[in-house]
């Protein structure tokens, strides 16, 4: 994988679901709402000084949210961070860098 480049979209994995679940509270606090459905659909990743994950999450009905989650380098031992997110996304909206 090229440093700095974003990978092609891949189907969500147990790991991306775990990561999304870990930052769900951060998202709910920022949006001031609870998400009864929170299922990862697909993701892209980007090598930085750590790793950015762009994750598409189904949050109910026809609504999706795109999240950028930052995972620090292992030796830093820091929690995952919800760096950014985009609401009002549809199932077919492409995950792009944001």
pLDDT digit string, tens, across residues 2-45: 456 788 899 999 999 999 999 999 999 999 999 999 999 999 99
User: Cα dist. 27→10, 30, 95 in Å?
Assistant: 22, 5, 18
Q: What is the pLDDT of residues 60-78, one digit of tens each?
A: 999 999 999 999 998 998 9
Q: Top-level CATH class of 10-89?
A: alpha beta
Secondary structure class of 35 (helix, strand, coil): coil
Backbone φ, ψ for residue 75 (5° rounding)? -70, -15
For residue 53 the two structure tokens come to: 């994950």
Which band of pLDDT confidence, cut at 50, 70 and 90, is reported for residue 1?
very low
d(CA 84, CA 65): 11
97: three-class secondary structure by DSSP: coil
- CB-based contacts of 13, cutoff 8 Å, min separation 6: 40, 43
């Amino acid at each position: 994988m090229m440093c700095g480049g974003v990978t092609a979209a891949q189907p969500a994995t147990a790991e991306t679901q775990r990561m999304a679940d870990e930052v769900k509270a951060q998202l709910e606090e920022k949006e001031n709402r609870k998400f009864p459905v929170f299922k990862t659909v697909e993701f892209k990743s980007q090598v930085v000084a750590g790793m950015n994950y762009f994750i598409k999450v189904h949050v109910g009905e026809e609504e999706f949210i795109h999240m950028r989650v930052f995972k620090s380098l292992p030796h830093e031992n820091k929690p995952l961070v919800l760096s950014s997110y985009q609401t009002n996304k549809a199932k077919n909206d492409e995950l792009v860098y944001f």
